[in-house]
Amino acid sequence: MSQNPLEIFSHNSQSVSRRGFLQCMAWLGTGAVWVMQGGVLRSQTLDEAAHSLKGSSDFTFVQISDSHIGFNKDANKDVISTLHASLDKINALPVQPDLLIHTGDLSHLAKAEQFDTLSQNLSSLRVKDQFFVPGEHDIADDLSEFHNRFGKNTKGDGWYSFDHKGVHFIGLVNVMHLKAGGLGLLGNDQLEWLEDDVRPLSASTPIVLFAHIPLWSVYPEWGWGTEDSAQALGYLKRFGSVTVLNGHIHQVMQKVEGNVTFHTAMSTAFPQPKPGSAPSPGPMKVNDNVLPTLLGITAIHRMASHHEIAIIDKPLASVTSVAHEEETSARDQQTEVSSLPHTISISNFKFVPEILSVKLGQTVRWINKDDSPHKVMANDGSFKSPLLDTNDHFEFTPTKTGTFGYFCSLHPHMTGSIKVD
Ligand SMILES: [Cu+2]
């Protein structure tokens, strides 16, 4: 996992220009297929896939991700419409998938009405077997709103497994109990459960593992990875075919490592920048006619005979040529930093200033200037904010001297400290 993330194969790899990337997306939309064979992903043309899927497809399932219901900023003011475009495409598939998997961030702010809106919309699907894992946006103080609707019959923080036509599916939760300076986390309880869960399976059982934050090191600088994923994957080493599906990064990235194929999905709501190509992750404003090509669904076809999994990424619309220069980044306009004393601005997924000195008795105020929510949490748990949406603030008055570390409990790579004297 020591690859430079920019060198990891993806549709927008260095080998293709931006124009090529968009043509690639359009090409995908018209039916390029990713096939996993013996642990290696390969692409097929539409004709090949249509032929091979028609006769030999055992079953298909579809993945959507990162609906962010409730998001209404510039990057996409109408996340319901773009969700609907995905759902319409799923309903129109010539072969209806057996299952739908949603890989998290159903909601933007974990509000009851946002979850309800998603449920209502998903009820229009012909696919009735729907499976979910939470994203960090689905946690308010806890996962209760998510659990009440989507986490029934799950274990621990919401992990579970099930079998479908010979494939063992495992849904994992890696957005809870995150630690300052860390990444996504599965935790010991879940790892132990996973080890037990797969123990009775024969090594020839195909495994599909899904979780919100990537279970591979996409870009740890932005928190795009899971601290203890190697241990989880260690339990799956003996299996011949393991497919890992994630969301969170709002773009397609794929990697094959031994018997494991990793795949991240696009968001139905808004795109995020390529790793390292912007000051921070977060909603990316792009030209309106580009947006539909960056939002999409993933259809995965499982072939009965060859233990192959074909992955089709299907953008909502096809745009054949849009110049790179037309893109703008919302974050370019987000460098505003408050000059008020004792104020920490949360901007571009950073606490500014990172270290703040105050006198005992003075109040510290955090203001979120990002289009993404954040949540301030003391390293020792002694104070925590509610979920802070854009322009929300939180105040805390230290009652003793010393240096106090804190982090964002949604994005634990964001850290800061307060020096009180
Ligand atoms: Cu955050």
CATH number at residue 49: 3.60.21.10
pLDDT tens by residue, the chain, 421 residues = 333 333 333 333 333 343 333 333 322 222 233 344 444 444 444 345 445 554 455 677 888 899 999 999 988 888 998 888 788 877 877 777 888 899 999 999 999 999 999 999 999 998 899 999 999 999 988 899 999 999 988 999 999 999 988 889 999 999 999 999 999 999 999 999 999 999 999 998 889 999 999 999 999 999 999 999 999 999 999 998 898 999 999 888 888 898 888 888 888 888 889 998 998 999 988 777 777 667 766 666 555 444 455 565 666 654 433 333 333 343 443 333 334 569 999 999 999 999 999 999 899 999 999 999 999 999 999 999 999 999 999 999 999 999 999 999 999 999 999 999 9
Nearest by Cα to 171 from 226, 212, 217: 212
Q: Residue 221 has what pLDDT? A: 93
Task: Please tell me the distance between residue 162's alpha carbon and the centre of ligand 1 in angstroms.
Answer: 32
Task: Please tell me the distance between residue 387's alpha carbon and the centre of ligand 1 in angstroms.
Answer: 9
Task: Please tell me the distance between residue 15's alpha carbon and the centre of ligand 1 in angstroms.
Answer: 32
Q: Residue 167 has what pLDDT? A: 87
Task: Please tell me the distance between residue 355's alpha carbon and the centre of ligand 1 in angstroms.
Answer: 17
* Domain's final residue, options 277, 308, 326: 326
Assess whether 260 and 391 both reside in one domain. Answer: no
Task: Please tell me the distance between residue 373's alpha carbon and the centre of ligand 1 in angstroms.
Answer: 6
Task: Please tell me the distance between residue 50's alpha carbon and the centre of ligand 1 in angstroms.
Answer: 43
Task: Please tell me the distance between residue 336's alpha carbon and the centre of ligand 1 in angstroms.
Answer: 17
Assess whether 288 and 342 both reside in one domain. Answer: no
**Which residues pair with residue 410 across a beta bridge?**
none
Nearest by Cα to 375 from 140, 212, 205: 140
Assess whether 368 and 237 both reside in one domain. Answer: no
Task: Please tell me the distance between residue 130's alpha carbon and the centre of ligand 1 in angstroms.
Answer: 28
Task: Please tell me the distance between residue 192's alpha carbon and the centre of ligand 1 in angstroms.
Answer: 28
- Domain CATH for 382: 2.60.40.420
Q: Give the max Cα distance, the chain.
A: 73
pTM above 0.85, yes or no: no
Assess whether 212 and 351 both reside in one domain. Answer: no
Q: Residue 315 has what pLDDT? A: 62
Q: Residue 415 has what pLDDT? A: 97
Task: Please tell me the distance between residue 345's alpha carbon and the centre of ligand 1 in angstroms.
Answer: 12
- The kind and range of the H/E element at 48 are helix 46-56
Domain that includes residue 90, residue range: 5-326
DSSP string covering 351-416, please?
Answer: EESSEEEE-TT--EEEEE-SSS-B-EEETTSS-B---B-TT-EEEE---S-EEEEEEESSSTT-EE
Assess whether 378 and 286 both reside in one domain. Answer: no
Task: Please tell me the distance between residue 349's alpha carbon and the centre of ligand 1 in angstroms.
Answer: 6
- For the chain, what is the domain count? 2
